[in-house]
């Protein structure tokens, strides 16, 4: 590992005189998705956490599933870092705060190292995060060296930590891979193919760690193997040290208490688990009291002023959700009282009248607060960053789903891709439906991008579109 990285600075941007924070940090990246980034990142975090080190993990880009594994490895909340969705100032503030209280930061990349705009490589260069490249080497030998060289040198000035081979067949195979590197000092070791630490997947990504009874033992098995690699044998003090400048004082502003005195009931269980911890922080900062409930557990809707139905996997629990008659009735009473509901992606799916698991397949009756049917499909129906304009305020976020909906409702707005012009009725992105006090979309919002717009979603004041026509009387 390049010793020069010990003095690698992050981009300037802190207030003069503010204390910078320095600690070990790596960004775990790969040539593509499915190479094993989460396994390596979580194993590295778990290894050092077991050694008594203070470890914090982050996920590059929008993601609800990989953070479950990183949180299990570290025992701490895992926040997203995205130069567009969360913003540079938010990234800087979170990295600085974590570095000030940690011995090691592990940031997991997204897709391939240079994929997306912004990419994981952009984040690495912006904050001086050394890249640890994970390459699935199960079907290669000498080409491993070409891939490693290309990742390191494709862009000038990219901070680099080294390369680790994943799914290696044997010790001899590992030696062939190491010999393929132009610079053997870049070799950080190899992990074998091993069912003990395989992380299972489904259509939206990894199965959440909370769904597996042996999740921690899988991470421990991976950490045990990693401990015998050059990377794992390296004390935390010998990992690349990164200096994180403090954020400028004007980059952190308190959210106005627009939701003070309001209670927001939030569905949270295996069917509704796509919740950014930062979104909860924003609601609390806006003054809201949060009350959680589990439809799958048969919980009643708590007394509340507004409801949030987050995304998740309603399609995996359609039969159970269909049987939640008390929840259907209590939500209907909530809506009849004119109280707001914000339903995103999976939360919206549960509100439609029917859910077809596949076209022509099994159909389940759901909660019926939105007219129409949702149909699961094999192909991805929506993916990528999106933004939603509510008057003068813009919420940033993303979309990722394998279903489509048929409804007589006319969208009141659509989201747009970053940089695109949004107009009412435009079909550049996801539809926003409004049905009484229910607001619903496939769009996943990052609340911190606009606390004011977030407060509007939960009924703090009427929502206005770019045309300034209010569609909400809550």
- Beta-carbon-side half-sphere exposure of residue 98 (alpha carbons within 13 Å): 24
User: Are 349 and 239 found together in one domain?
Assistant: no
d(CA 133, CA 176): 17
Question: Does 467 reside within a domain?
Answer: no
- Bond prior to 118 in cis (omega within 30° of 0): yes
CA 108-109-115 angle, to 5 degrees, is: 175
CA trace torsion 379, 385, 388, 389 (10° rounding)? -140
User: Which backbone phi and psi does 455 adopt, to 5 degrees?
Assistant: -60, -35
Q: What is the pLDDT of residue 4?
A: 33
From residue 141, alpha-carbon distances to 99, 147, 175, 188 in Å are 37, 11, 9, 16
Q: Which pair of tokens denotes residue 438?
A: 């229910």
Q: What is the pLDDT of residue 248?
A: 83
Q: What is the pLDDT of residue 420?
A: 65
User: Are 262 and 239 found together in one domain?
Assistant: no
Q: What is the pLDDT of residue 471?
A: 42
User: Are 206 and 67 found together in one domain?
Assistant: yes
User: Are 244 and 352 found together in one domain?
Assistant: no
Q: What is the pLDDT of residue 196?
A: 73
User: Are 241 and 347 found together in one domain?
Assistant: no
User: Are 210 and 305 found together in one domain?
Assistant: no
Of the candidates 275, 315, 321, 319, the one whose C-alpha atom is nearest the C-alpha of residue 298 is: 321
Q: What is the pLDDT of residue 11?
A: 32
User: Are 208 and 231 found together in one domain?
Assistant: yes
Q: What is the pLDDT of residue 108?
A: 97
Q: What is the pLDDT of residue 13?
A: 38
Q: What is the pLDDT of residue 197?
A: 62
Question: Does 471 reside within a domain?
Answer: no
DSSP state of 84: I
Q: Specify whether the CB–CB gap between 443 and 344 falls below 8 A.
A: yes
Of the candidates 182, 191, 188, 190, the one whose C-alpha atom is nearest the C-alpha of residue 142 is: 182
The answer to whether 345 is a known catalytic residue is yes
Residues of the chain with pLDDT under 70: 1-18, 195, 197, 200-213, 249-254, 359-360, 380-381, 420-428, 460-474
Question: Does 472 reside within a domain?
Answer: no
User: Which backbone phi and psi does 147 adopt, to 5 degrees?
Assistant: -65, -45
Q: Is 196 helix (H, G, I), strand (E, B) or coil?
A: helix
Of the candidates 369, 342, 327, the one whose C-alpha atom is nearest the C-alpha of residue 266 is: 342
Q: What is the pLDDT of residue 384?
A: 85
User: Are 273 and 359 found together in one domain?
Assistant: yes
User: Are 290 and 343 found together in one domain?
Assistant: yes
d(CA 326, CA 323): 9
User: Are 296 and 384 found together in one domain?
Assistant: yes
User: Are 394 and 288 found together in one domain?
Assistant: yes
- Domains of the chain: total: 2
**CB neighbours of residue 202 within 10 Å:** 12
DSSP state of 447: G
The CATH number of the domain holding residue 89 is: 3.40.50.300
d(CA 123, CA 94): 13
Among residues 201, 218, 249, the one where a domain terminates is: 249
Among residues 224, 249, 274, the one where a domain terminates is: 249
Question: Does 466 reside within a domain?
Answer: no
User: Are 290 and 189 found together in one domain?
Assistant: no
User: Which backbone phi and psi does 369 adopt, to 5 degrees?
Assistant: -85, -10
Among residues 249, 277, 304, the one where a domain terminates is: 249
How many residues belong to the chain?
A: 474
d(CA 204, CA 105): 26
Task: Name residues whose C-beta falls within 8 Å of residue 399's C-beta, 6 or more positions apart in sequence.
Answer: 345, 382, 383, 384, 386, 415, 429, 430, 442, 443, 444
Question: Does 469 reside within a domain?
Answer: no
The CATH number of the domain holding residue 399 is: 3.40.50.880
Question: Does 462 reside within a domain?
Answer: no
Question: Does 409 reside within a domain?
Answer: yes
Q: Tell the burial category of 389 from Cβ atoms under 10 Å away from its Cβ (0-12, 13-18, 19+).
A: buried
Instruction: Write the DSSP assignment of 23-42 as a string of letters.
Output: EEEEEEE-SSTTSSHHHHHH
DSSP state of 93: H
Question: Does 153 reside within a domain?
Answer: yes
User: Which backbone phi and psi does 310 adopt, to 5 degrees?
Assistant: -75, 175
Q: Which of 60, 91, 324, 345 is catalytic?
A: 345
**Which strands make up the sheet holding 341-344, listed edge to edge?**
289-293, 263-267, 306-309, 341-344, 438-441, 431-435, 413-414
Which residue range(s) make up the domain with 244? 3-249
């Amino acid at each position: 590992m390049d010793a020069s990285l010990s003095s690698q600075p992050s981009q300037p941007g802190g207030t003069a005189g503010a204390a910078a924070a320095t600690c070990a940090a790596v960004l775990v990246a790969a040539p593509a998705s499915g190479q094993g980034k989460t396994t390596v990142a979580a194993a590295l975090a778990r290894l050092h956490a077991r050694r008594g080190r203070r470890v914090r993990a982050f996920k590059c880009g929008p993601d609800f599933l990989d953070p479950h594994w990183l949180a299990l490895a570290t025992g701490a909340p895992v926040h997203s870092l995205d130069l567009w969705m969360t913003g540079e100032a938010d990234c800087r503030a979170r990295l600085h705060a974590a570095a000030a209280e940690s011995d090691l930061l592990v940031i997991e990349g997204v897709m391939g190292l240079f994929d997306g705009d912004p990419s994981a490589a952009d984040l690495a260069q912006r904050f001086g995060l050394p890249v640890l490249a994970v390459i699935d080497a199960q079907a290669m030998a000498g080409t491993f060296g070409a891939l490693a060289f290309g990742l390191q040198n494709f862009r000038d000035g990219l901070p680099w930590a080294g390369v680790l081979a994943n799914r290696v067949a044997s010790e001899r195979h590992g030696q062939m891979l190491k010999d393929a590197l132009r610079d053997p000092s870049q070799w950080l070791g190899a992990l074998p193919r091993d069912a003990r630490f395989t992380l299972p997947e489904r259509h939206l990504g990894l199965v959440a760690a909370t769904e597996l009874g042996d999740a921690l033992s899988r991470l421990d098995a991976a950490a045990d193997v990693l401990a015998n690699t050059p990377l794992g044998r390296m004390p935390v003090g010998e990992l690349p040290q990164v200096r994180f400048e403090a954020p400028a004082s004007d980059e952190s502003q308190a959210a106005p208490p627009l939701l003070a005195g309001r209670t927001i009931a939030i569905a949270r269980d295996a069917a509704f688990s796509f919740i950014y911890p930062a979104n909860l922080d924003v609601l609390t900062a806006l003054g809201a009291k949060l009350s959680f409930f589990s439809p799958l557990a048969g919980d009643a809707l708590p007394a509340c002023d507004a409801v949030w139905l987050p995304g998740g996997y309603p399609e995996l629990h359609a039969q159970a959700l269909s049987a939640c008659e008390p929840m259907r009735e209590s939500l209907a009473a909530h809506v009849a009282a004119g109280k707001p509901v914000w339903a995103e992606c999976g939360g919206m799916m549960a509100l439609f009248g029917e859910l077809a698991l596949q076209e022509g397949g099994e159909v389940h009756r759901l909660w019926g607060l939105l007219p129409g049917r949702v149909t699961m499909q094999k192909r991805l129906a929506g993916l990528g960053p999106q933004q939603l304009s509510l008057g003068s305020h813009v919420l940033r976020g993303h979309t990722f789903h394998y279903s489509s909906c048929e409804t007589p409702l006319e969208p009141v707005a659509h989201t747009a891709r970053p940089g695109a012009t949004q107009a009412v009725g435009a079909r550049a992105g996801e539809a926003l439906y409004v049905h009484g006090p229910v607001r619903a979309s496939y769009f996943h919002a990052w609340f911190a991008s606009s606390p004011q717009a977030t407060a509007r979603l939960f009924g703090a004041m009427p929502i206005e579109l770019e045309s300034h026509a209010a569609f909400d009387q809550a």
